[in-house]
Amino acid sequence: MKKLNKVLALALAASMVVSLAACGKDKDNAASNKSATPTPVVSGNQTTAKATSTPTPTPTLAPLKITVSLPSNDEHLEENVYYDQVVKTINEYTNMDVTWEWNDDSTYYDDEHLGLKISTGDVADVLVVGTNAAFYAAANEGLFWDLTPYIDDYDNLAQIPEAFRAYVSSNGKMFGIPRSRTLARNGLGYRLDWLNNLGLAEPTTWEDYYKMLYAFTYNDPDGNGVDDTVGLGLDNWDGVWNIMMLWFGVPNDWGLDKNGDLIFKFQTEEYKTALKAFRQLYSEGLINNGANGIPDFRDINPGKARDTLQRQSLAGSGVQVLDDQRKVQTYFQDNGITTEDEIIYTLQGYVDTGLGAFCMPQLGGNNMVAISTVNIKTEAQLRQVLQFLNDVNDGDMLNLIDYGIEGVTWHLNDEGYIEMYTGDEATEKLNGASGTYRNGFNQILAYFTADENARKVTLAPETAPIRVLENELYAEDVQYLVTNYGLSYQSSTPTFINSELKSQLDTIMADAQKAYIVGEIDDTGLEAAINQWVKAGGAQYTKEINELYHAAGH
């Protein structure tokens, strides 16, 4: 593992000089980072001891010149001595010579930008890409390196679990490094104080959950004598149905039938059972259906249920990512409705319908970092780039990128934890330079680190009970995640590569699913939609994905 003694010595010396002499545009003196750090999903043993000095090994290869293209709206090109210091430190630590290309993040992934670059082969050496059919088509044609044979040769990158590798793979080939995110992130939240008011226990089974939603809707849980609440408050985000479907044993898109073949969820009996349960909730008014002045879920924009319903005490439960639901509790805390120590809106990972514990996983990443073959032509060059991507996931580099330069944007407090400078102190430490100097670099981080490379200092652990519960669920529910067995396989049929037919197929079932839940079509109508999906291309799609799946040795 590399150590930072010489690099940090240079950095410290530079920071002492620039703290006296630096001047620049006072665009943003806050020590903030708009590119929020994701929850690390794998970490080594973290302590609060300071790093010890050890010699930096002499590089055996000359620094390799590469370009790295990332989305970021921060003004990295303005003169900023701290930005320059971060670039220099990364280069020296990783033995590289990197030119960073920053692009408008609002248009970075558009067809007119990234899509055009991929289609013409005009790509940087290292770049963030989306996990879409156009990228995989170009990768399979040779524009990007297949990292499968190499990834386990690097101590940090070797920690990437199979679920994350599948997310960035195509037909058995791993074409990028996942920008990892918490896997076990989905779940539900509900009003614990309403539950206590009604004398009910926390729900663990579907029957319990149904009874709770019914009581929240019809038994005046807030005690105001007004019929103005609903049990489950949803918005028009289709993903909520996927989260709850898995509780009923529905596959995570692609499951396995009794013969070991892939089967898509629409063709399972469990899918129909789940929709019947959702239809019952809606028909009985336990999901917001427009009654009592509470908007129908179809009339609320995706992602707005929390603000519109739960925070306004109109709905007693929600299903979303756990951090979304946790923000209901923090809202109540911030507005004096409860204290930090008293949880009135609690979290849970799943509801057991009698089949066991099932959780809907996140895909395992937020896009990926790919290596192009345009200039990185040899295996030796590829290995230098992989070493670079490995080294930036060392704890020393994670702290530099996540928190910035010690003494400029953070310091160690008396307990030995990283503490960010804020307010006037942050402005003084930056001495007129922009506090966004480190923003965007985290776009290349996988956030997987071998134990021996772990951060030696870190932020203080969360102590707020709701945060502690949230993190416990992230760790505990990993064992209940349902595998999508077809995730890493893409059909070679041109219509599927272009996503046109697949989009049409998805629309057929998305429309039918919602229509069935709200009672606009019956069982016959649902069956007709499934048959339409099969005939319109679903059967051919299933056949091709199965061929790829079995060709990979399954």
Residue 52 confidence (pLDDT) above 50: no
Residues 444-484: pLDDT tens digits?
Answer: 999 999 999 999 999 999 999 999 999 999 999 999 999 99
Q: 111: exposed, middle or buried (C-beta count within 10 Å: 0-12, 13-18, 19+)? A: exposed
Residue 38 confidence (pLDDT) above 60: no
Average pLDDT, the chain: 87
Where do the structural domains in the chain lie, given as residue ranges? 5-41+59-182+365-446, 491-554
Give the dihedral sign, CA 302/306/309/314.
positive
pLDDT of residue 106: 85
Scanning the structure block, which residue is given the tokens 């499951």?
A: 255
Tell me whether strands 186-191 and 345-348 are parallel, antiparallel or unpaired: antiparallel
Whether 408 contacts 19, CB under 8 Å: yes
Residue 163 confidence (pLDDT) above 90: no
Average pLDDT over residues 521-531: 97
- What band does 271 get if pLDDT is binned at 50, 70 and 90? very high
pTM: 0.80
Cross-strand bridge partners of residue 278: none
CA distance 427 to 329: 32
Q: 85: exposed, middle or buried (C-beta count within 10 Å: 0-12, 13-18, 19+)? A: buried
3-state SS of 460-506? Answer: CCCCCHHHHHHHHHHHHHHHHECCCCCCCCCCCCHHHHCCHHHHHHH
Comparing 128-132, 401-405, 407-411, the range with the smallest average pLDDT is: 128-132
> Can you read off the two tokens belonging to residue 258?
């009794």
Q: Fold for domain 5-41+59-182+365-446?
A: D-Maltodextrin-Binding Protein; domain 2 (3.40.190)
Residues 343-394: pLDDT tens digits?
Answer: 999 999 999 999 999 999 987 778 999 999 999 999 999 999 999 999 999 9
Whether 452 contacts 44, CB under 8 Å: yes
